[in-house]
Structure 1
Amino acid sequence: MKISEAFKLYICDYVLRAGKSINTESSYLNISKSLVSFFGDVDIESLSFSDFRDWHNFVSSRWRSNTVRNAISCIRMVLKMAARRGFDVMDYEELVVPKREKYIIQYLLPEEIEDFISVASRQCRGYGSMNRLRNIAILRLLAASGIRVSELVSLNRNSIRHRKFTVIGKSKNPRVVFIDEATEDAINNYLACRTDDNSALFISHQGARSRLTTGGVRRIFESICDNSDFINVTPHTIRHSFATMLLDKGIELCYISDLLGHQSLDTTRIYTHYTNTKLQHIYDSVMT
């Protein structure tokens, strides 16, 4: 069985049936393409541990460590599936998944988010009020809810009712999301100026006026950063900021996990290191 065939079979058997997100499917296909690019689309049975070690050394200098970790985990599962189907592949347990690398996640303080929104408001004046109102609504919605950018662009005009709405997250499970009054006002101000009949909540106001894409939202952030002192602020930065704010206010981790749509508390625990700074301040205030 060819490498590409093995991955397609695994995607059909596991990813799609398990209701995994499109991003998960895309990630697995990219891993398959990387292996095929490195080895050629050879029989997966012909690959040995040393072959995978060579590939690992190659991608380690090009990919982030956690991306490599996820790729090895995926390859192990593909090999395990192939073995269960009777193919004479190498023992998947020989491929050891590296420990997840701990890293510091960038986040903004509430006042910094307000400054970021102010930059967006000033920047868009030359582009017309529609873009300005749309971008303000996008930023306020992300900051008030912590939703993923993919969840944001999937929203329709009629999605939000009584300051709450439902999104379908990575696990394909629906979750209820809440927003504050300021965000509701920002969205209503934007929609009040819309004259189109597009059902999408956020659209591009150039060209075909189609539903705004995740790439379109990221370009909005890039443009704001290019015209300000902010560096590398992304939609995910705002999501991290939302989680950190909740943690700072003493919200229990399990509730934060539910609000973010995390499948595991382990994912949410990466935010707990942010309390270290506050603990240091508390300690210093007591000891000095």
Structure 2
Amino acid sequence: MKPFETYKQLFIEYLQIEKNASPLTVSQYSKDIDLFGDFLKAEGISLLECEYANVRLFLSKLHTEQLSRRSVSKKISSLRSFYRFLDREEFIKQNPFVNVSMPKSDHKIPEFFYEEELKQLFTVSDLHDPLGQRNQAIIELLYGTGIRVSECTGIELPDLDLSLETLLVHGKGNKERYVPFGQFAARALRRYIEDGRTQLAAKGKTPTNRLFLNARGGPLTARGLRLILNKMVEQAALTVDIHPHKLRHTFATHLLNEGADLRSVQELLGHEQLSSTQVYTHVTKDRLQQVYMNSHPRANK
């Protein structure tokens, strides 16, 4: 019988080669499998001899640790995939995760910015300063396209077409999509590329094609981008929390509020499943009620 780590490594290679999974996905699956492996070891149970009752005991343990339903669902999904792989390769006789159901989701409504809050963020950058030009380009692009932080920091100069105002986005699982952006983002990007980025790149030790650079001329990291956004919030004297995903939520919410259809928003966000996009419809209910009250003949008092 092969050791636990061998089966895990075979599965990781399957994710990387056959499924073309992102490094973040592979890392999360690895952590979830290790957690389950530690549980099995403590219980004295073999990976290949695990049964449904053992899985139920594992889920009960997660429940006592007060993990969120979302976290539990992610772990179930990881382990389901792992055991489905073991079953496919005929390493096991029965899959203990076949009858395991997902916990009901918490239906957490995404946080988003109101337009007045966003207006303040767009006025804090010093457009005569290279870093200010970069920061303005970042926030215009994040709000103007709804891209993820990893997609933003990964942008390279050839990905941009300023004449057509489109961006080639390298999304999850190496999937690519084109997204448009507006005149405000185009103006901020052109100013930054022609002026601020040139000055920042001159400070770098190694030439790079990355669009967004740090103060030393190197590629901007996801952590650096988050620090930039937090600083902009402080400068705008806002009392709200900010993170790149909040701008992504705002992008989707504002599009739906202005009448965009769900399928188009799904494509722009790069969601594989429509259900991932449907979460944003919750925040448009107030607008729908307002439209109804203003438009239906029997609604007005």
Alignment of 1:76-91 (within 5 A): 76-84=80-88, 85-88=90-93, 90-91=95-96
* Cα deviations by residue, 1:129-155 (Å, 9 ceiling, x for unpaired): 222221111111000011111111111
Q: RMSD value over aligned CA atoms? A: 2.6
Alignment of 1:56-67 (within 5 A): 56-60=59-63, 61=65, 63-67=67-71
Distance 1:226 1:73, change over 3 A: same
CA distance in structure 2 between the aligned counterparts of 1:12 and 1:165, rounded to whole angstroms? 31
For structure 1, the 5+ residue unaligned runs are none
* Cα deviations by residue, 1:74-106 (Å, 9 ceiling, x for unpaired): 212212222332324552213222233311110
Task: State the AA in 2 paired with 1:245.
Answer: H
Q: Which residue of 2 aligns with 1:45?
A: 48
Equivalent residue pairs, number: 281
Task: State the AA in 1 paired with 2:97.
Answer: Y
User: Could you tell me whether the CA contact under 8 Å between 1:202 and 1:212 is conserved in 2?
Assistant: yes
Task: State the AA in 1 paired with 2:114.
Answer: L
Distance 1:55 1:219, change over 3 A: farther
Q: Which residue of 2 aligns with 1:92?
A: 97
1:232 to partner: Cα distance: 2.6
Q: What is the DSSP-based 3-state SS (H/G/I as helix, E as strand, rest coil) of the residue aligned with 1:232?
A: coil
* Cα deviations by residue, 1:227-256 (Å, 9 ceiling, x for unpaired): 633333211110111111111111111111
Q: Which residue of 2 aligns with 1:32?
A: 33
CA distance in structure 2 between the aligned counterparts of 1:66 and 1:28, rounded to whole angstroms? 15
Q: What is the DSSP-based 3-state SS (H/G/I as helix, E as strand, rest coil) of the residue aligned with 2:48?
A: helix
Task: State the AA in 1 paired with 2:230.
Answer: E
Distance 1:276 1:135, change over 3 A: same
1:31 to partner: Cα distance: 0.8
Distance 1:67 1:241, change over 3 A: same
Q: Which residue of 1 aligns with 2:204?
A: none
Q: Which residue of 2 aligns with 1:102?
A: 107
Task: State the AA in 2 paired with 1:156.
Answer: E
CA distance in structure 1 between the aligned counterparts of 2:260 and 2:150, rounded to whole angstroms? 25
Q: Which residue of 1 aligns with 2:240?
A: 231
1:254 aligns with 2:255: no
Q: Which residue of 1 aligns with 2:175?
A: 173
User: Could you tell me whether the CA contact under 8 Å between 1:19 and 1:172 is conserved in 2?
Assistant: yes
1:189 to partner: Cα distance: 1.9
Distance 1:55 1:218, change over 3 A: farther
CA distance in structure 2 between the aligned counterparts of 1:5 and 1:67, rounded to whole angstroms? 26
For structure 2, the 5+ residue unaligned runs are 202-206
Q: What is the DSSP-based 3-state SS (H/G/I as helix, E as strand, rest coil) of the residue aligned with 2:84?
A: helix
Q: What is the DSSP-based 3-state SS (H/G/I as helix, E as strand, rest coil) of the residue aligned with 1:262?
A: coil
* Cα deviations by residue, 1:55-80 (Å, 9 ceiling, x for unpaired): 33343435432121021022122122
Q: Which residue of 2 aligns with 1:213?
A: 221
Rg comparison, structure with higher value: 2
1:260 to partner: Cα distance: 0.9
User: Could you tell me whether the CA contact under 8 Å between 2:145 and 2:251 is conserved in 1?
Assistant: yes
1:28 to partner: Cα distance: 0.6
| TM-score, with structure 2 as normaliser | 0.83
* Cα deviations by residue, 1:176-212 (Å, 9 ceiling, x for unpaired): 1111111112122222122324321001114xx3211
Q: Which residue of 1 aligns with 2:272?
A: 263
Identical residues among aligned pairs (%): 25
Range 93-102 or range 57-66, more displaced? 57-66
Task: State the AA in 1 paired with 2:116.
Answer: E
Q: Which residue of 2 aligns with 1:111?
A: 116
Q: Which residue of 2 aligns with 1:135?
A: 135
1:118 to partner: Cα distance: 2.9
